[in-house]
Amino acid sequence: MTQTTAKVTAVHKERYELIPCRDGLRPSAGANSAPLYGRLKTGIYMNGMEPYPTVGDIVDILFNPQGDSVIIKTHSRRSYFSRLDPDPGGHREQAVAANFDYVFIMQSLNQDFNLRRMERYLALVWQSGATPVIVLTKADLTENPSRQLGEIESAAMGVDTVLVSAVTGSGLDGLEKYLQPGKTCVFLGSSGVGKSSLLNALMGADVMTVKAIREDDAKGRHTTTHRQLAALPNGACVIDTPGMRELGFWGEEGDEGISGIFSDIETVLGGCRFSDCRHQSEPGCAVRAAIERGDVAQERWESYQKLKREALYAENKAAAMREKSERNQHIAVWSRQRKKEVW
């Protein structure tokens, strides 16, 4: 088997869709046609010697013309999004997209517009190593977006904002600057914001994979992975991610969103004898009692814990990010002042 490099275009449970790289980085032409499949070399990946590949990753493979190739190495990433591995017992960071240049933070101008969520997205993008672009969708549905634009201006100073309509095609030329050959853009936004429609408008034709993504979505978000990379006719690449939830943010307000949906569990939680109860074998544990009574299903308790962990992880990341940017601001102010004093 010959060794070569490839780019990961889709992640299934154990199988990776790949396209060969022409020059080690750029996918070769016809990236949307017949994919190559690869599986991880267990001896390398199970020992934690290499990070698990994700969409956008460049990997070394042992090419197998007869069947699945063998993935033996993940190249270092110039940018990535990650979350906490949602598998029980998994404590590791898990990348969900890699090697992108721009992230289109997408919100529609009608119901979906939410400034707080945009701030969360912005923090994530700055941390990822890529450049954010705010893309406001469904421009055809709004007469005057000046209120939203004003709010964005103050929340996201200096970030490019583009208004588009996938229906009329207005504003699409404003995205050309980012969608250059060899560049990769991530579409980030809630379901229904218009990610698939924008991708279709940019492709100039319906893409089969978009439909596949949507079907997977309905089936079960935790079992099937549906991150995919599509190549536009001009050679730019687009990665579609399902949204905040995938990145560990749950609901509109993160942690509070979990509480709203699991209010039954949160009520039980208050009843444990010890305030620092770990809900394992402590005496007087209200959670274990509720599970034994059948008031709370074991699986529901597990998914609550899982989402809680993910949300906490994402919150910590965002907080660390805010702290860092505040510190940098202080340093900038301090050095400006110092310059003034010196001169």
By the criterion CB under 6 A, which residues form the site for ligand GDP? 137-138, 140-141, 165-167, 189, 191-197
Integer Cα distance of 34 and 165 in angstroms: 31
DSSP H helical segments within 54-137, as ranges?
115-128
Q: Which stretch binds Zn ion (CB under 5 A): 44-52, 106-114, 209-217, 276-284?
A: 276-284
Per CB under 5 A, the list member of 231, 287, 290, 307 interacting with Zn ion is: 287
CB under 8 Å to 318, separation ≥6 — which residues? 120, 123, 124
Integer Cα distance of 229 and 286 in angstroms: 46
197 binds, among Zn ion, ligand GDP, none (CB under 5 to 8 A by kind): ligand GDP
8 binds, among Zn ion, ligand GDP, none (CB under 5 to 8 A by kind): none
Q: Is residue 260 within 8 Å of residue 206, measured between CB atoms? A: no
What is the closest distance, in whole angstroms, from the C-beta atom of residue 277 to Zn ion in the complex? Answer: 3
What is the closest distance, in whole angstroms, from the C-beta atom of residue 253 to ligand GDP in the complex? Answer: 21
Integer Cα distance of 97 and 76 in angstroms: 13
Pick 105 or 265: Cβ nearer Zn ion: 265
Pick 62 or 277: Cβ nearer Zn ion: 277
Pick 129 or 251: Cβ nearer ligand GDP: 251
Pick 82 or 190: Cβ nearer ligand GDP: 190
CB under 8 Å to 281, separation ≥6 — which residues? 288
What is the closest distance, in whole angstroms, from the C-beta atom of residue 199 to ligand GDP in the complex? Answer: 8
265 binds, among Zn ion, ligand GDP, none (CB under 5 to 8 A by kind): none
Pick 61 or 166: Cβ nearer ligand GDP: 166
Query: CA nearest 311: which of 226, 262, 237, 244?
Result: 244
Q: In the block, which residue shows the tokens 């591995």?
A: 85
Give phi and psi for 2, each to the nearest 5. -90, 145
Residues found near Zn ion in the complex (CB under 5 A): 272, 277, 279, 285, 287
